[in-house]
Amino acid sequence: MTVLGATPAHASTGEAVNPWVALAYLLSGVFFILALRGLSSPATSRTGNRYGMIGMAIAMVTTLLTHDIANLVEILIAIAIGAIIGLVIARRIAMTAMPELVAAFHSLVGLAAVLVGWAAYLNPGAFGLLVPMDTIGTDYSLPMQIGAVSKVEMGLGIAIGAITFSGSVIAFLKLSGRMSGSPILLPARHVINLGTLAAIIVLTALFAMAAPAQTMPLIVGLTVLAFLIGFLLIIPIGGADMPVVVSMLNSYSGWAAAAMGFTLGNTAMIITGALVGSSGAILSYIMCRAMNRSFISVIAGGFGADDSGAGGGEAKEQRPYKQGSAQDAAFMLEQAEKVIIIPGYGMAVAQAQHALREMTDILEEKGVEVKFAIHPVAGRMPGHMNVLLAEASVDYDKVFELEDINSEFAQADVAFIIGANDVVNPAAKTDKSSPIYGMPVFDVDKARQVFFIKRSMGGVGYAGVDNDVFYMDQTMMLLADAKKMVEDIVKAMD
């Protein structure tokens, strides 16, 4: 990419000399802000997606029209190939695989930042990054080198991008089942992580101050350590904390793009990256509060992965419980006045959302009030349950967040739990030794009747903690595949 209107001492792109370019990038930024606003609610999420697509189209067209492109045809072919791949994946991907798909996309953003940073380092003249080697930076008769500020921006972009890539790869492997979701706890992992991060900071500073002939070993070491720390940060994190990991990696990808935007002098990348990075960080903070996690420990890595908190995935003891059938559940649901449904990842795995919507329709025809309760960390990514329910055409006004509906369980005739576990576990409120202690959970124990759908009594959820709700007097366990059980309940009600 050759930069238009840039002097050797200024790393700006065409938008610095053309106010219409700056206006176009500002307009794309406005559309990105409107996209985030739309994505804040399921009711407006499609509109938000459209705004984001319009903003990105404006930014891409502006960049292509205002820069000398070596081969525009090749660029357009690459865009077409990427668009086709994206369309095919979007049409074929199962909703249960959406978390690992998001993680995979984050890895590509991080890798792109690394490649752009290295391209700028290897060919700085094409990016307008060269300045004179004198201390004042005005004698253009002297040899040219990359400016110190540009080196810092380049180093940060490469480091954040590499962390995003390797961390997202581990998240993808864990979410897709290709790697165990259990925490992998390395000895002295916090010391190793802090030492590696400190080394990256030192290498970035040395890279910024080094002479041109001395920079190659420094940037190579910085890149390698950044890839390494990405693995080290995510490996100790267990499956129960993956929603926060996905959100945090989303934030990292935004900051990587923003850093590369400064390197390239591209306003659109800076705006977009800052929006993604800040919104991802805010979402991560909200989710940390919902899980009783420390935001600082998320950044440091290994949160929720203390040796004492690593569950084995099996129930601690065999206790008596009541098991029911689809006919039992259908009869009691029909007699209820108010039913609150709590979906979890088990519903996603079984793809039971459509059958659940059908059950809801039948109950409402019989005069039963039905509501859905969504925990902030239900599923394996932020908004996972909202997306599944929207796919099944469940009305948005029936879906409520934890703080909006938790007080209603005391008036509910039935709490219908389908594939959730940790988010309804009262140990979070009563057992200080529990790894989920302090996490806000649904007060399903206050409902008159509880139906709990799970495959068997053998598993106890991601946190590895037994659930007292299984054994309550008002609980009836419905042990079966979630989709089949709901379909049987629908047949029994018909």
Mean pLDDT of 283-294: 75
Give the percent of the chain with pLDDT over 90: 35
Mean pLDDT of 167-190: 80
Residue 217: pLDDT band with limits 50, 70, 90: very high
| 68 in active site | no
Mean pLDDT of 78-92: 89
Q: Which of the residue ranges 43-47, 176-180, 294-298 would you say has the lowest mean pLDDT?
A: 294-298
Taking every pair of Cα atoms in the chain, the longest distance, rounded to a whole number of angstroms, is 89
Residue 489's pLDDT is what? Answer: 95
Res. 313: pLDDT tops 50 = no
Residue 3's pLDDT is what? Answer: 38
User: Rounded distance, CA 157 to CA 153, Å?
Assistant: 6
The SS3 of residue 415 is strand
Residue 423's pLDDT is what? Answer: 87
Residue 442's pLDDT is what? Answer: 93
Residue 9: pLDDT band with limits 50, 70, 90: very low
Res. 69: pLDDT tops 80 = no
Q: CB pairs under 8 A, 24+ apart, for 301-304?
A: 301/189, 301/193, 301/232, 301/233, 301/234, 301/236, 301/237, 302/183, 302/185, 302/189, 302/190, 302/193, 302/233, 302/236, 302/237, 303/237, 303/241, 303/244, 304/183, 304/237, 304/238, 304/240, 304/241, 304/435
Residue 417's pLDDT is what? Answer: 94
Res. 11: pLDDT tops 70 = no
Residue 434's pLDDT is what? Answer: 75
Residue 310: pLDDT band with limits 50, 70, 90: very low
pTM for the model: 0.74
3-state helix, strand and coil shares in percent for the chain, rounded to the nearest 5: 60, 10, 30
User: Rounded distance, CA 241 to CA 290, Å?
Assistant: 11
Residue 459: pLDDT band with limits 50, 70, 90: low
Res. 451: pLDDT tops 90 = yes
Residue 303: pLDDT band with limits 50, 70, 90: very low
Residue 176's pLDDT is what? Answer: 78
pLDDT tens digits, one per residue of 352-404: 999 999 999 999 999 999 999 998 878 777 778 888 888 888 888 899 988 89
Cβ-count burial of 117 within 10 angstroms (0-12 exposed, 13-18 middle, 19+ buried)? buried
Mean pLDDT of 347-351: 86
pLDDT tens digits, one per residue of 406-436: 999 999 999 999 988 888 988 888 887 777 7
pLDDT tens digits, one per residue of 230-266: 888 888 876 666 777 888 888 888 998 898 888 888 8
Q: Is the dihedral of CA 86, 55, 268, 40 positive or negative?
A: negative
Residue 39: pLDDT band with limits 50, 70, 90: confident
What is the pLDDT of the chain when averaged over all its residues? 82
Mean pLDDT of 141-170: 87
Q: Which entry of 422, 445, 466, 488 is annotated as an active-site residue? A: 422
